[in-house]
Amino acid sequence: MEPEELTELALEAAVAAGAGYADVRWVREETEGLTVVDGRVDNLEAEESSGLGVRVLVDGCWGFAASAVLDPARARALAGRAVEVARASAATGGEPVRLAPAEPAVASWSTPVGRDPFAVPLAERVDLLLAACDAQRSVAGVAHAKGTVDLWRRRTVLWSTEGTRVDQTVTQTGAGIEATATGGGDLQQRSWPNSFRGQFQAGGWEVVEAADLVGNAPRVAAEAVQLLAAPVLPERVTTVILDGQQLSLQVHESVGHPLELDRILGMEAAYAGTSFVGPGDLGRLRYGSPAMSVTADATTPGGLGTFAFDDEGVPAQRSPLVAEGVVAGFLTSRETTTDGAGSGGAMRADGWGAMPLIRMTNVHLEPGQGTLDELVADTADGVLLSVNRSWSIDDRRVNFQFGVEAAWEIRGGRLGRLYRNATYDGRTTELWGSLDAVCGPGEWVVWGVPNCGKGQPYQNARVGHGAAPARFRDVHVGGVGR
Amino acid sequence: MTAFGSERLLEVAEAALGTGGADDVEALVYRQAGGLTRFAASRIHQSAWREDLWVRVRVVVDGNRVGTATVHAADPAAVRATAGRAAEVARTMPPDPGYPGMPGPATAYPEAGRHDEATAGADPATRAGLVAGVLRRLPAGVAAAGACETRELEIALANTRGVRAAGATTGAGFSILVDAGSGTGWAEGTEPALADLDVATLGERAARKAMDSREPRELAPGTYPVVLEPNAASVMVQWLGWLGFGAKAYDEGRSFLVGRLGQRVCSPLVTIVDDATAADTIGVGFDFEGVPKRRVTLIDEGVAASLVYDFRAATGHGVEPTGHGLPAPSAEGALPMHLSLLPGQTPQADLVAGLERGLLVTRFHYTNLVNLMDTTITGMTRDGTFWVEDGRVVGAVRNLRFTQSILEALSSVRAVGAETEMATEDGYGAARAPALAIDRFAFSSATTF
């Protein structure tokens, strides 16, 4: 049965059962994850999942039901179950949910793709990763060489009782390498273009080609070996330059999440947490220095948070979150909007089986000027911190600590010795208040964060962050281990 | 009686086994269904029900070319098509010289897991009623958030070597965070059956902690004696499970146990086992390769005692697999997924009574690995962090960040609580643990609330 037919059946059944509002998403997801380790295929996971998710409002209460096991009778039954769930939700009372008005969306859209990554023969993908592993293992001292390619495609058919009819297909591609050196009771890794399986963008095989895994493999492997012999970063307060990869996660954890309006309103309190930002801080709270401007932009080409419509059928938007250091906006939905505003189009669900939540789209630190080389040359004393290896932040998004793969001393405007096991920590507004330079558009890359967790049941989201290397003053750094 | 039933699930699996031209075929069927009633600001706001069923087929051709494919569907035609896709993948894969074959049939599978029909069939009104009842009993002026969840899990596995395994289990969870203004409190329970969850007591515990947490004072970071309640202790056990009890991780040098097997790594008061057959855990009697699960003592009175093995690693080492395999071939290798730090002799209340000066910690938040080989993790305390003097809680303190080696913390365990709880950290994994009294625990910075 065609997805539109199942969707319509469920929509009609939801209304017949008493839903005042309903939207139904049929989602088909294809994923392929390939891992090559030390010259052999370690794992290839190919998965196909399709299912239906029915969301209803009954007397101002939400209900949601979803299933992968589908036929016409089950589609109707699913709608009935969603209404049953919503009716039960009235047990605790409270203000009814009201949705901000939104024009019904009627459209089809697909991610622009250069070369369809799913059409790239498996043998070609394997050969690329084998070559990248060989290039890593050509460096003496490398214990393990790893290469990965991940492909994701999600088609969503979204229909609502307000007339929305959206058919949208998002294709995302990623690849990376990871060299490991071991010895003396220690283990060090260096990754390219990013850690945790590499760089991910919306698009096709061209994303993999742009990463030049083979060309970068010898350098990455050599750095892993050098790290094993490097000293642990000494503790001190100093100037820090974060590279774009690490900065993207700093933006994610300490800017994106605190500005999600559902967190601010307490809707994620028990699980992901809340925010130090309050609803009344809009236009008032100084978040960072004037060098800090942050934008949410679901229209950015190549972003993991790029789409044409969110999972409520709201068009993709670009809007300021922080303007020259002051809070200028929140990430919002139709249920959670600021006074008089419509939805910001940030509602996204982890496939057919989950209720949409407010999620980051692409949250960018806007570029400044100059190159990384110029920024280093302009720094008398400090450290350059590169590529994330651990992250943690408190439940109101204030106190953070990040670990990175590599740290280079900066002295007299030049990069110096390499340090291992580096961490830095601080508090959100203090760090952003100390930002004094962001590199320019030539250094600005939309980095993918493919593993953003939120919600109950747990949902994963893939989001993007444009970032260029940036400099912060008076940051506490240190190292862990021997 | 389960929703699908073992026979029907095995029929779904067997649809894959006739794949033409294959040397070996394995089909794993996994069905999970359940509801979650989520509340915030003392009202239900995101209630949901979901059912998923997936079939993962592994096909081997030419002796050692291995392909897998997964589909979320139950009809035989979709399963056969997926098996065909897995065979296609296998034919394009390079040979796997280490392919160990597939396990054969077991003589018996251990009794494991508990399937409770009332939990499997719990409707949204039941969950909503439990939530509403707890909220009604909270003190005036507080707000609560949390979730009540019920779920049913069915697994079946069949392969062309004769394995036929099927099992079912249920689980129920309730968590509650109470916000009393300048302080928050939290409690959580997880049990195989909903009827065993004492949600009223959990609500009272969270409310009491919230009231006691008000007006926290600042405490300088430093190294303090602590009592970690079961949830916080459980997080450390779960991290150890990820960091190196698996034979593959050990063989590849990415295990904290490299060079330490047989050595003392913790206090003699610490024994950690993995046991899917325990009555108080949630699981089935076989792993994702159809191998019977065995109880494995990983840390025995402080000594690193053993690893867990999937079929591939066991074949390589010439030992019996322990029943800890993930769907093969797995990048992770074997993992212990039913961990338990065994209880001691000291009632939990007495752990605090025995603390001269130090901290009582309810819960950790957002822990993450900082350094694998020395098991250093970092994270925050949350929803109830208290200062203790002369064995009594004297007030709340602001939340602190810890940066601490797990093994070093477990080496300075002074006493182990007599009661255990199954606990999670934000829904990732689960482990059963008692409260722990630890002499030295390093807090590296503080937050503002």
The pLDDT, as a whole number, for residue A458 is 92
3-state secondary structure of A60: coil
Whole-angstrom distance, CA of residue A283 vs CA of residue A323: 9
Nearest alpha carbon to residue A110 among A158, A34, A167, A66? A167
Nearest Cβ partner for A399 among B179, B259, B445 = B445
Whole-angstrom distance, CA of residue B431 vs CA of residue B273: 10
3-state secondary structure of A160: strand
Judged on CB neighbours under 10 Å (0-12, 13-18, 19+), A412 is exposed
**pLDDT digit string, tens, across residues A61-87:** 999 999 998 899 999 999 999 999 999
Phi and psi at residue B261, in whole multiples of 5°?
-60, 135
Phi and psi at residue B132, in whole multiples of 5°?
-60, -40
Contact A51 B131 (CB under 8 A): no
Angle at A420 between CA A419 and CA A424, to 5 degrees: 90
Q: Does A423 touch chain B (CB under 8 A)?
A: yes
Whole-angstrom distance, CA of residue A477 vs CA of residue A479: 7
pLDDT for A340 beyond 90: no
Residues of A in contact with B132 (CB under 8 A): 91-92
Task: Return the structure tokens found at A418.
Answer: 């390499």
Whole-angstrom distance, CA of residue A127 vs CA of residue B383: 51
A296 Cα to chain B: minimum distance (Å)? 25
Nearest Cβ partner for B68 among A46, A69, A391 = A46
Its ipTM equals 0.96
Share of chain A above pLDDT 90, in %: 97
B326-354 burial, b if ≥16 CB within 10 A, otherwise e? bbbbbeebbbbbbbbbbbbebebebbbee
Q: Which of A394, A420, A423, A475 is the best substitution to test chain B (most B C-beta atoms within 10 A)?
A: A394
Q: Does A460 touch chain B (CB under 8 A)?
A: no
B127 Cα to chain A: minimum distance (Å)? 9
A7-40 burial, b if ≥16 CB within 10 A, otherwise e? bebbbbbbbebebbbbbbbbbbbbbbbbbbbbee
Contact B373 A398 (CB under 8 A): no
Q: Does A367 touch chain B (CB under 8 A)?
A: no
From B257, which residue of chain A is nearest by alpha-carbon distance?
A: A185
Contact B147 A456 (CB under 8 A): yes
Nearest alpha carbon to residue A39 among B340, B181, B95, B233? B95
Q: Does B58 touch chain A (CB under 8 A)?
A: no
| H helix or E strand, kind and range, residue A374 | helix A372-377
In 10 A of CB A380, how many CB atoms? 9
Instruction: Tally helices (H) and strands (E) across chain B.
Output: 10, 18
Nearest Cβ partner for B47 among A48, A62, A182 = A62
Phi and psi at residue B448, in whole multiples of 5°?
-100, 5
Contact B373 A268 (CB under 8 A): no
Whole-angstrom distance, CA of residue B94 vs CA of residue A398: 49
Distances (CA, A) of B294 to A100, B80, B277: 55, 32, 8
Q: Does A276 touch chain B (CB under 8 A)?
A: yes
Segment A425-434 shows an average pLDDT of 98
Segment A123-136 shows an average pLDDT of 97
Phi and psi at residue A197, in whole multiples of 5°?
80, 15
Whole-angstrom distance, CA of residue A346 vs CA of residue A366: 19
The pLDDT, as a whole number, for residue B427 is 56
Whole-angstrom distance, CA of residue A205 vs CA of residue A35: 16
Whole-angstrom distance, CA of residue B391 vs CA of residue A451: 43
**Strand ranges, E, within B160-254:** 164-179, 184-191, 223-228
From A391, which residue of chain B is nearest by alpha-carbon distance?
A: B368
Q: Does B252 touch chain A (CB under 8 A)?
A: yes
Contact B449 A398 (CB under 8 A): yes
Q: Does B60 touch chain A (CB under 8 A)?
A: no
Nearest Cβ partner for B43 among A51, A92, A482 = A92
- CB of B321 within 8 A of CB of B293? no
Angle at A28 between CA A27 and CA A34, to 5 degrees: 135
The pLDDT, as a whole number, for residue B428 is 60
Contact B371 A427 (CB under 8 A): no
Q: Does A121 touch chain B (CB under 8 A)?
A: yes
Phi and psi at residue A240, in whole multiples of 5°?
-125, 135
Distances (CA, A) of B54 to A69, B115, B277, B400: 9, 20, 24, 42
Task: Return the structure tokens found at A126.
Answer: 């394997």
The pLDDT, as a whole number, for residue B430 is 83
Contact B145 A270 (CB under 8 A): yes
Paired residues of A240 in beta bridges: A383, A472
Paired residues of A238 in beta bridges: A475
From B373, which residue of chain A is nearest by alpha-carbon distance?
A: A186
Distances (CA, A) of A24 to A1, A78, A240: 16, 10, 48
**pLDDT digit string, tens, across residues A203-252:** 999 999 999 999 999 999 999 999 999 999 999 999 999 999 999 999 99
Residues of A in contact with B44 (CB under 8 A): 61, 88-92, 94
Nearest alpha carbon to residue B276 among B323, B222, B325? B323
Q: Which of A44, A122, A154, A476 is the best substitution to test chain B (most B C-beta atoms within 10 A)?
A: A44
By DSSP bridging, strand A40-58 and strand B65-72 are: parallel
- CB of A44 within 8 A of CB of B89? yes
Task: Return the structure tokens found at A465.
Answer: 């962050």
Nearest Cβ partner for B52 among A68, A82, A271 = A68
Q: Is the preceding peptide bond at A193 cis, omega within 30 degrees of 0?
A: yes
Nearest alpha carbon to residue B99 among B257, B297, B328, B269? B328
- The set of residues, in sequence order, having a beta carbon less than 8 Å from that of A414 and lying 6+ positions away, is A376, A377
Spell out the alpha helix ranges (H) of B253-370: 311-317, 348-353
Contact A88 B51 (CB under 8 A): no
Give, for all 449 residues of chain B, the pLDDT tens digit. Answer: 677 889 999 999 999 999 989 999 999 999 999 999 999 999 999 999 999 999 999 999 999 999 999 999 999 999 999 999 999 999 999 999 999 999 999 999 998 889 999 999 999 999 999 999 999 999 999 999 999 999 999 999 999 999 999 999 999 999 999 999 999 999 999 999 999 999 999 999 999 999 999 999 999 999 999 999 999 999 999 999 999 999 999 999 999 999 999 999 999 999 999 999 998 888 899 999 999 999 999 999 999 999 999 999 999 999 999 999 999 999 899 999 999 999 999 999 999 999 999 999 999 999 999 999 999 999 999 999 999 999 999 999 999 999 999 999 999 999 999 999 998 766 566 899 999 999 999 999 999 99
Q: Which of A:1-60 have CB within 8 Å of B? A: 35, 37, 40-51
By DSSP bridging, strand A236-242 and strand A381-393 are: parallel
Contact A481 B179 (CB under 8 A): no
Residues of A in contact with B258 (CB under 8 A): 185
- CB of A376 within 8 A of CB of A408? no
The pLDDT, as a whole number, for residue B424 is 77
3-state secondary structure of A208: helix
Nearest alpha carbon to residue B306 among B356, B329, B272? B272
| H helix or E strand, kind and range, residue A400 | strand A399-411
Whole-angstrom distance, CA of residue B335 vs CA of residue B325: 7
Dihedral, B215, B220, B221, B222 alpha carbons, nearest 10:
-130
Q: Please report which confidence band the pLDDT of residue A341 belongs to, taking 50, 70 and 90 as the band edges.
A: confident
The pLDDT, as a whole number, for residue B2 is 72
Length of chain A: 482
Q: Does B271 touch chain A (CB under 8 A)?
A: no
Q: Which of A:157-196 have CB within 8 Å of B? A: 180, 182, 185-187
Q: Which of B:300-319 have CB within 8 Å of A? A: none
Dihedral, A254, A257, A262, A263 alpha carbons, nearest 10:
-50
For all residues of chain A together, what is the average pLDDT?
97
Q: Does B40 touch chain A (CB under 8 A)?
A: yes
Nearest Cβ partner for B125 among A88, A268, A390 = A88
Residues of A in contact with B122 (CB under 8 A): none
- CB of A51 within 8 A of CB of B75? no
| Residue that has been written with the tokens 């970690």 in this structure | B228
Positive or negative, the Cα torsion across A190, A194, A197, A198? Answer: negative
Nearest Cβ partner for A270 among B92, B98, B146 = B146
Rg of chain B on CA atoms, in Å:
23
A49 Cα to chain B: minimum distance (Å)? 5
Q: Which of B28, B38, B443 is the best substitution to test chain A (most A C-beta atoms within 10 A)?
A: B38
Q: Does B368 touch chain A (CB under 8 A)?
A: yes
- CB of B348 within 8 A of CB of B415? no
By DSSP bridging, strand B376-389 and strand B400-405 are: antiparallel
Residues of A in contact with B426 (CB under 8 A): 271-272, 453, 458
Contact A395 B128 (CB under 8 A): no
Whole-angstrom distance, CA of residue B400 vs CA of residue B406: 17
pTM, two decimals, is: 0.97
Whole-angstrom distance, CA of residue A304 vs CA of residue B56: 27
Nearest alpha carbon to residue A240 among A434, A465, A17? A434
Judged on CB neighbours under 10 Å (0-12, 13-18, 19+), A163 is exposed
The pLDDT, as a whole number, for residue B113 is 81
Q: Does A323 touch chain B (CB under 8 A)?
A: no
